[in-house]
Structure 1
């Protein structure tokens, strides 16, 4: 029964994550609810072991149908990998607890900005090219990669928002680009969790398969319905993140 519950949660997480990020909002609480006495690091490692496959498959699916600006994204992926590994290491020696009260406010600002800017992310009009785009994308990858390794909630949503706001991508292209960065940050964190033995391999296989299934379904819907659909899901996921992180920070 435990395997069924966490695998179903992984499927739902893969579905949401493939569209706009935020799958951890579903899978991580499910793992903590099913295994309340397990070490948190082991549950986080198991989450990464499953979710990395969904984001990787989503990246491949998006890359076949959406313009991927590889000259900017590959350096960004490399920067995010190094930064995420550094963040994951830092969290083993410094607590990120102080971020809990800041995060809901940051997410609320992102939501309000998106709601008021009706045309934000509706059209794909990259603002930069060449080295300038690569530098800016790498800066985004490094900052959010470090955040993902150190703390994590809302990583996918932050990536999508920054690619839209700073680079001029539409929501569909931003989501596709975010999947590549999120895959590399997941791999970086996973390497550290594996090295420290914080992963349940006997659960990961089934959860990974479920995550990929959900990811493929979510990617198909995103590609079918386009940037308007992704924008709506983005608003929904960020709203849910505000409620969840706000509850964790102030009411728990």
Structure 2
């Protein structure tokens, strides 16, 4: 495969991933296997993935902020705690074995998909919050931020569900807020991968452009079509992620 065709493949995969990820998360299901498929070692594939994913989550975040779907003034507490959590997760992954987490996460994601399927009104509109923002972001910024730095798959699903169930966000507002937190933890992880030289810039930037464009279109669809559009895509991506993680666990 020529270098030009390879870069075109990476761009196309990132465009689709950005589109899907801005709607329901799970873009890494597409991009990480493609990066490893072109022969990148796992750590460099993960580092390059964080570079291109930062373009996508950043693009979606900017579009949601400009459209007024999420206010940055409401997110700063979450950004701070997510930054701390992600930094701790990146540090911990160097020291701890993620095997137990890899076995547990598919079942937690399956519960999220099942609960969403059985709760058709969940996230249809904003509802009463069960937690105040301060304690919520302290708990979930630290824990989900840590998880994204440590392992990662399903981060967006965990954020979206927590925001709907405990802060009373509609699925639309939860999806928008999730992108702010995703960008935060992606950027923190990217800084680490850059510091140890585990990022391929050409591939990452080409994919980043694709991610940016795909995420822009996806976030526009989210805003114009709302919860009825997000819900089936969200459930589909969660189930796809569950299937992939179970397959990886069994194959190992």
Which residue number in structure 1 is paired with residue 202 of structure 2? 202
Which residue number in structure 2 is paired with residue 111 of structure 1? 113
* Cα 1:9/1:67, change in 2 over 3 Å: closer
State the alpha-carbon separation in 1 of the partners of residues 189 and 212 from structure 2. Answer: 19
Which residue number in structure 2 is paired with residue 90 of structure 1? 92
State the alpha-carbon separation in 1 of the partners of residues 83 and 209 from structure 2. Answer: 24
Q: How does 1:64-143 map to 2 (within 5 A)?
A: 64-127=66-129, 132-143=132-143
Residue 70 of structure 1 and its aligned partner are, at CA, apart by 4.0
CA contact (8 A) 1:76 1:139 kept: no
Count of aligned pairs: 248
SS, match of residue 75 in structure 2: helix
TM-score, normalising length: structure 1: 0.94
Q: Please give the root-mean-square deviation of Cα atoms over the aligned residues, in Å.
A: 1.5
The more displaced of 208-217 and 99-108 is 99-108
Which residue number in structure 2 is paired with residue 25 of structure 1? 29
Structure 2 unaligned spans of 5+: none
SS, match of residue 89 in structure 2: helix
TM-score, normalising length: structure 2: 0.94
Which residue number in structure 2 is paired with residue 54 of structure 1? 56
State the alpha-carbon separation in 2 of the partners of residues 150 and 225 from structure 1. Answer: 34
Q: Deviating runs (4+, > 2 A) in structure 1?
A: 64-72
Q: 2:19 aligns with which of 11, 15, 24?
A: 15
Which residue number in structure 2 is paired with residue 232 of structure 1? 232
Deviations 1:203-222 (A, max 9, x none): 12211101101101111111
